[in-house]
Amino acid sequence: MSHLLLIDSHLHAVSADRVRYPLRQADLPGNSWVEQCPASAEDLAAEMDTAGVRSGVLVQPVGAYGTDNSYVADATATKSGHPRLGGVCVIDMTAPDRLVKLRYWTQQRQMGGVRFFSVPTPAVAWLDNPETFEIWEACAEWGVRVSVCVLPAELEHLGRVLKQFPELPVALDHCGFADFSDGPPWRNAAPLWQLATYENLHLKATTNVLDAAGDSAKELLLTLSRRFGSYRLMWGSDYPQTHDRTYAQLVALAQNTAEVLPPQAQADYLGETALKLWPELG
C-alpha cells in the first residue's frame, strides 16, 4: 500500500527551545511524554520522510503549552502555497475573549484549524452552549477547520452542535474516546454510533482507537467505515504522545489495519479524507 497517499491528521510537536517556547504543562493523564519524549516539528518531518508520510497536521498539545499556540503557529507558518504541516490551535472556550483569540490565531497567525478541547469533562458543558455559537459561526465564515476533543459523556452535546451547524465539517479526535472494550459489535460505543447520521462529522480513527480494539482492530475499522462511510474516516498517529512504538511502526499499524478495507476506503482513511479537509497539504 506504499503507493497510497499518507497524511497524518494528528501529530503533536514540542520545541526544544524552552526559553522561546516555555512549557505550560497541564495536569492531564498521560502527559509524561512532554518531558520524556518530545518531538519538534523538524523531528516529525524527518520521521514522516522515513515512513513515507506526505504531510501532517500539528494539533496544539494542551499538555505542553495550554492555549499558547505560539510554537505550532511558528512551526506551520509558510509563505508557500503547499505547507508540509497544518496547524490547529486551542482557545479557551469559556473565556470572554474567545472570539478575539480565534481571530488572532487563525487570521493573524494563519493557523488553519481550531480544536475545541473539553477534557476532562467540565461540570457545566460549554460545547453546545449558544453563547459559544459565535465561534462555530466564525469558523464557518473564515474556513477554519474544526476538531473536537471530548470524552463519551459529551458526545450527546456534540450531536446538538452538529445539528446546529450542518454545513461545517467537524473532526472528532480519537473517535471521542468511545468505549470499545466490550468487543464486536461494540454496544458500549452507542454514543458514538448515534452520531453517524450527522454527515458533517469526520472521525479520527487514531492509533489510540486501533489499540483500544486490540485483536479486533481490523473489524472495528471496517465497522466504522460501514457506519460512517470511509470518506469520513481519517488516520492519525498521535505521535509522540503515543510513543511506545516508533513512528514508522505506528504508520505500519495503520496501513496493516486498513488492508481490510476496499481500495478506495483504504485511500480515504490513510490520506484522502484528511486531504479533503486540508487540501493545501496535498
The closest alpha carbon to 234, from 41, 57, 49, belongs to 57
Tens digit of each residue's pLDDT (9 = 90 or more) over 208-261 = 999 999 999 999 999 999 999 999 999 999 999 999 999 999 999 999 999 999
Residue 280: pLDDT band (50, 70, 90) is: very high
As a whole number of angstroms, the distance between CA 116 and CA 75 comes to 20
As a whole number of angstroms, the distance between CA 115 and CA 270 comes to 21
As a whole number of angstroms, the distance between CA 57 and CA 236 comes to 9
Residues sharing a CB contact under 8 Å with residue 76, sequence separation 6 or more, in sequence order: 41, 58, 83, 85, 86, 87, 111, 112
Tens digit of each residue's pLDDT (9 = 90 or more) over 149-165 = 999 999 999 999 999 99
What would the DSSP string read from start to end of the chain? -TTS--EEEEE----S-TTTS-------TTTTHHHHS---HHHHHHHHHHHT--EEEEEP-HHHHTT--HHHHHHH--SSSS-SEEEEEE--TTSTTHHHHHHIIIIIS---EEEEE--SPPSS--TT-GGGHHHHHHHHHHT-EEEEE--GGGHHHHHHHHHH-TTS-EEEGGGGG---TT-TT-GGGHHHHTTTT-TTEEEE--HHHHHHHGGGHHHHHHHHHHHH-GGGEE----BTTS-SS-HHHHHHHHHHHHTTS-HHHHHIIIIIHHHHH-GGG-
Residue 53: pLDDT band (50, 70, 90) is: very high
| HSE-CB for 273 with a 13 A CA cutoff | 29
Q: pTM higher than 0.75 for the full model?
A: yes
Q: Please say whether the dihedral angle defined by the alpha carbons of residues 46, 13, 28 and 158, taken in this order, is positive or negative.
A: negative
Bridge partner list, 147: 115, 171
What's the alpha-carbon Rg for the chain, to the nearest Å? 17
| HSE-CB for 224 with a 13 A CA cutoff | 37
Tens digit of each residue's pLDDT (9 = 90 or more) over 38-51 = 999 999 999 999 99
As a whole number of angstroms, the distance between CA 102 and CA 60 comes to 13
Residue 34: pLDDT band (50, 70, 90) is: confident
Report the side by side order of strands in the sheet with 145-149.
Answer: 7-11, 55-59, 85-90, 113-117, 145-149, 170-172, 201-204, 233-234
- Contact assessment for residue 93 and residue 138, using Cβ atoms and an 8 Å cutoff: no
Work out the widest C-alpha separation in the chain, in whole angstroms: 49
Cell (9 digits) for 243: 510513543
Tens digit of each residue's pLDDT (9 = 90 or more) over 121-150 = 999 999 999 999 999 999 999 999 999 999
Mean pLDDT of the chain: 94
- Contact assessment for residue 161 and residue 128, using Cβ atoms and an 8 Å cutoff: yes
Bridge partner list, 8: 56
Domains of the chain: 7-281 (3.20.20.140)
